[in-house]
Amino acid sequence: MEEQNNDSKGLSRRKVLIGTGALAAGAALTQLGGIIKPAQATGGKTEKWPWPYEKLDPAETAEICYNEWYRVFCGAAVINSIFSQLREKVGEPYTSFPSDAFVFLEGGQVGWGTICGSPAGANIVANLIIGPRIAGANEGHHMAADNMQWYSETALPTFTPKKRKISSTYPTTISESPLCHISVGKWMKAANKALKSPERKERCARVAASSAYHLVEMLNDWKDGKYESTSDFSCASENGITGQFNCTECHGDDVPQAPAMPKTKKS
Amino acid sequence: MEEQNNDSKGLSRRKVLIGTGALAAGAALTQLGGIIKPAQATGGKTEKWPWPYEKLDPAETAEICYNEWYRVFCGAAVINSIFSQLREKVGEPYTSFPSDAFVFLEGGQVGWGTICGSPAGANIVANLIIGPRIAGANEGHHMAADNMQWYSETALPTFTPKKRKISSTYPTTISESPLCHISVGKWMKAANKALKSPERKERCARVAASSAYHLVEMLNDWKDGKYESTSDFSCASENGITGQFNCTECHGDDVPQAPAMPKTKKS
């Protein structure tokens, strides 16, 4: 642990704790896994957090991400848009991170439509730079929750590249979910475009770019000690199960009740 | 690119191509992203594939994973169970990979119930070792599809650790999905246990261990040149959208039709 670096983030961490969303997300930490333990070294020489970070330009990062999408697709494009710059500005440990391996995040992991590669890639970047919650800081965890809520609630894409691959205009859509299947499905319905269409690919490239833009804004705030978590949702706290907030979209009016813990007897 | 190593996998790759599932999965490759391009170096010094791999004992790996779950939870436990051993046996590039950063995969990514951390972690391991499809080999991509189909169709957990944290017996369940929300939800219903219960945590620790066991079996086969992809599902090919195979579970009888590509006129 780099205690010195963690201490320098004291202001940021305090702000996280007093943020409205952070309270719910903090509650989720104990719901999910139980006891928060200090990190134990397992041998990874890059497992010292936070990684050195220099502020990046959100628009420039998004432009890189947009172009990288056409080479490595959503997840790896988000990672590479940030790490390619930090390799230049900082060097290690970014030079040792194999970003291109994350091509498989495409299509919600090799086409299975689970989490969209854009938030999946953004979550990886946030937690690589800031570190996992077991290492003593929770901002990476909170930033991942912020990513997914922002992605679910925002009319995407928000970013328009300078040099477009195709010039078509098309609708933006709000997914209400971080899942690829739901996000791309709602857009395909609104745009009446097929998965294989150039417009769908362009839309996904811009969604990745929009996600990279938003992530850099959060990371820059964190670097300046003024990051505040914006997420206000914890399915575990609210519903007793991991999940999203769009329960009725799959369950209709028949949302199941999760089994509850047995009530403890009063002594 | 380590062409020599790729060539040595010729037998394995040919077997993948003649496997029934590989044809569908191969079709998906072109459905999702379009053109497969050769890798372009972006500066990552560990982006040379495949990474050196030595065969591991599946049961020993699962035992490590089970215990690691109680420290770093599902996704990072799967990664660490394999990489901690390869750090000892091989060294770099495993020593430089920050496995603990992937704690955030817990609960389907910080509790949002998207992809279960066990297949998410397994997909990361397979694609780090074998490399992304843009680097010239498709086995990592296929292994990720195999992971998710196996996870969805198997009564989990399959692995029982030697030293159990709790001795309760409980049901196994088939999730029909790689999503945390659906997988843990079906188990909680069958077991009538809460998310916070020790039995639910024990179940998830064993699911992670089962996933690590299965992944090592595939990686060992790949090392021996006898890996064959078992997945036979491509939602993109079959339904024109990324997704899983349990359409009616969310959509009921009203499964939407994805927009199709315009038919090209015959010349």
Q: Say what the pLDDT of residue B265 is.
A: 64
Q: Is the pLDDT of residue A21 over 70?
A: no
DSSP string, A95-153: GG--GGGGGGGTTTTTTS--B-HHHHHHHHHHHHHH--GGGT--HHHHHHHHHHHHHHH
Tell me what the mean pLDDT of segment A107-125 comes to.
98
CB-nearest partner of A87 from B43, B73, B87: B43
Cα distances from B215 to residues A43, A231, B81, B242, in angstroms, run 22, 34, 11, 23
In angstroms, the separation between the Cα of residue B50 and the nearest Cα of chain A is 10
In angstroms, the separation between the Cα of residue A207 and the nearest Cα of chain B is 14
Dihedral angle, C-alpha A179, A184, A190, A195, nearest 10 °: -160
Assigned token pair, A97: 């991170």
pLDDT 10s digits, B44-82: 789 999 999 999 999 999 999 999 999 999 999 999 999
User: B198-223 vs B139-153: helix axis angle to the nearest 10?
Assistant: 140
Q: Say what the pLDDT of residue B255 is.
A: 94
CA distance A184 to A194: 10
Assigned token pair, A16: 């996280």
Q: Say what the pLDDT of residue B44 is.
A: 75
Q: Which of A26-30, B165-169, B182-186 has the highest mean pLDDT?
A: B182-186
pLDDT 10s digits, A39-97: 444 557 899 999 999 999 999 999 999 999 999 999 999 999 999 999 999 999 999 99
Q: Say what the pLDDT of residue B266 is.
A: 56
Q: Is residue A168 very low, low, confident or very high in pLDDT (cuts 50, 70, 90)?
A: confident
For residues B29 and A196, the model is more confident at A196
Q: How far is CA A36 from the centre of its chain?
A: 21
Residues 6+ apart with CB under 8 A from B265: none
Encoded amino acid at A21, one letter: G
pLDDT 10s digits, B100-136: 999 999 999 999 999 999 999 999 999 999 999 999 9
Q: Say what the pLDDT of residue B9 is.
A: 33
Q: Say what the pLDDT of residue A159 is.
A: 97
Q: Is the pLDDT of residue B33 over 70?
A: no
Find the residue in B nearest to A131 (Cα): B101
The complex's ipTM? 0.86
pLDDT 10s digits, B126-147: 999 999 999 999 999 999 999 9
Cα distances from B121 to residues A97, A164, A192, A250, B237, in angstroms, run 16, 35, 35, 26, 25
Q: Say what the pLDDT of residue A45 is.
A: 83
Which helix (H) or strand (E) element contains residue A187? Answer: helix A180-191
Beta strands (DSSP E) in chain B are: none
- As a whole-number percent, the residues of chain A with pLDDT over 90 amount to 77
**For A114-118, A160-164, A168-172, A198-202, which range has the lowest pLDDT when averaged over its residues?**
A168-172
For residues B114 and B233, the model is more confident at B114
Find the residue in A nearest to B38 (Cα): A71
Chain position carrying tokens 């269409």: A197
Find the residue in B nearest to A87 (Cα): B43
CA distance A73 to A208: 8
Q: Is the pLDDT of residue A35 over 70?
A: no
Q: Is residue B196 very low, low, confident or very high in pLDDT (cuts 50, 70, 90)?
A: very high
In angstroms, the separation between the Cα of residue A88 and the nearest Cα of chain B is 9
Record: contact B115-A109, CB cut-off 8 A: yes
For residues B112 and B29, the model is more confident at B112
- As a whole-number percent, the residues of chain B with pLDDT over 90 amount to 77
User: Of the candidates B26, B260, B211, B212, which has an alpha carbon nearest to the alpha carbon of residue B137?
Assistant: B26
The end-to-end CA distance of chain B, in Å, is 42
Q: How many CB pairs under 8 A join A and B?
A: 321
Q: A110 in the Ramachandran plot: left (φ > 0), alpha (ψ -120 to 50) or beta?
A: left
DSSP type of residue A179:
B
Question: Where along chain B do its domains lie?
Answer: 52-243
